[in-house]
A and B are shown apart, each in its own frame.
Chain A
Amino acid sequence: MRTRETNWRAAYLLAAVGGPAALGAALGVPFGVRAILTESVLLPGLVLGLTLMMAPALYIGMSLAGAAPPAMQVGASVGRALRASGLVMAGLAPAMAFLLATTLSHAFVYVLGLLAVGGAVAAGLRALWVDLVSGPARRLRAIPVFGLWCVVSLGLGAHLFIHMIGA
Chain B
Amino acid sequence: MTTLSQTIPESYGSDFLHTIDQLLRDVPGVLQRIRDARDLATLARAMIVTIVAGAGIFGASMGAYRGGLQVLYAGLKLPLALLLTTAVCAPSLTALNAALGRQACIRRDLSLLLASLARTSLVLAAQAPMVLLAVRMGVSYHAIILLVVACCAAGAVVGLSLLLRGLRTSDAGPVLAVALALLTVFGFVGSQMSWTLRPFVLRPRTPEPTFVRSLEGSFFEAVVTSSMSARGVYWRSSAPLPGEEDVR
Tell me the A residues contacting B by CB distance below 8 Å: 83-85, 87-95, 98-99, 102-105, 108, 112, 119-120, 123-124, 126-127, 130
Tell me how many residue pairs across A and B have CB atoms closer than 8 Å. 78
Q: Collect the chain B residues with CB atoms within 8 Å of residue A89's CB.
A: 95
A103-B221, A104-B217, A123-B100 in contact; A88/B95 too (CB < 8 A)? yes
Pairwise interchain contact B99-A87, C-beta atoms closer than 8 A: yes
Q: Collect the chain B residues with CB atoms within 8 Å of residue A94's CB.
A: 88, 91-92
Complex: how many Å from CA A123 to CA B100?
7
A102-B215, A105-B218, A108-B221 in contact; A95/B88 too (CB < 8 A)? yes
Pairwise interchain contact B99-A85, C-beta atoms closer than 8 A: yes
Complex: how many Å from CA A124 to CA B101?
11
Pairwise interchain contact A91-B192, C-beta atoms closer than 8 A: no
Q: Which residue of B lies closest to A92 (CB)?
A: B92
Segment 168-221 of B: residues with Cβ below 8 Å from A:
177, 181, 184-185, 188-189, 192-193, 195-196, 215-218, 220-221
State whether the Cβ of B94 lies closer than 8 Å to any Cβ in chain A. Answer: yes
Q: Which residue of A lies closest to B174 (CB)?
A: A126
State whether the Cβ of B93 lies closer than 8 Å to any Cβ in chain A. Answer: yes
Q: Which residue of A lies closest to B185 (CB)?
A: A95
Interface of A (DSSP majority class): helix
Q: Which residue of B lies closest to A94 (CB)?
A: B88
Complex: how many Å from CA A94 to CA B189?
10
Pairwise interchain contact B100-A90, C-beta atoms closer than 8 A: no
Pairwise interchain contact B88-A98, C-beta atoms closer than 8 A: yes
Pairwise interchain contact B193-A98, C-beta atoms closer than 8 A: yes
Complex: how many Å from CA A93 to CA B188?
13
Question: What are 19 A-B contacts defined by CB distance under 8 Å?
Answer: A87-B99, A90-B91, A91-B92, A95-B88, A95-B89, A95-B185, A99-B188, A99-B192, A103-B217, A103-B220, A104-B215, A105-B217, A105-B221, A108-B221, A112-B188, A123-B100, A124-B99, A127-B99, A130-B101
Complex: how many Å from CA A130 to CA B181?
19
Pairwise interchain contact A91-B96, C-beta atoms closer than 8 A: yes
Q: Collect the chain B residues with CB atoms within 8 Å of residue A130's CB.
A: 101
